[in-house]
Amino acid sequence: MKTDLFEPATGDGREGGAVLELFERVRRTAALADHCGFQCMWVAEHHFQPHGGVQSRPQLLIADLMARTDTLQFGVGIFQVPFHPAISTAEDIATLSDWALGRFPQGLRPGVLPQRAQRVRDSHGHQRRLLPGQGPAG
């Protein structure tokens, strides 16, 4: 029987070292899953979560985990393509697929939840206001 594992990779909302602890926990989970014969470890992509997490660029996490495991496959439940430049996401997926030698199935989603999309628009608007010549005169 083949069994998959879902790792939400979420934290408890603490600042600073909590993120490193979270990375280490996810790494230990992947190593144990690989050792125990799990078929695939799935992660999620999430943005602006109050509980913290390492999911805004899951392909980075997967690249790290693939280097630490031997046979475990990795997947992203949903790549939220509208939150990233499409070409970068496509290149990341293609590169991981090449590196993974069959260990990286993919999933894409055409859209996002409206409340999350608004948070991204708000964040991008704030970032643009910080760029010289982009904000209100003043």
| Domain range summary for the chain, segments of one domain joined by + | 4-111
Computed over every residue of the chain, the mean pLDDT equals 75
Q: What percent of the chain has pLDDT over 70?
A: 64
**Tokens matching residue 59:** 């392909």
Backbone angles phi, psi at 57, to 5 degrees: -135, 75
pLDDT of residue 122: 60
Bridge-partner residues for 42, per DSSP? 6, 75
Let me know if 37 is exposed, middle or buried by CB neighbors in 10 A (0-12, 13-18, 19+): exposed
Alpha helices, DSSP H only, in the chain?
17-36, 58-67, 86-100, 114-130
Confidence of residue 54 (pLDDT cuts 50, 70, 90): low
Higher pLDDT, 21 or 121: 21
For residues 20-31, average pLDDT: 89
So what's the pLDDT on residue 126? Answer: 47
- Structure confidence by residue, pLDDT tens digits, 100-136: 888 886 655 555 556 655 655 565 454 455 445 554 4
Mean pLDDT of 14-35: 83
- Amino acid 127: pLDDT: 47
- Model pLDDT, residue 120: 55
Taking each helix axis from N to C end, the angle separating 58-67 and 86-100, rounded to the nearest 10 degrees, works out to 10
List, for residues 67-83, the tens digit of each pLDDT value: 999 999 998 877 777 77
pLDDT at 137: 46
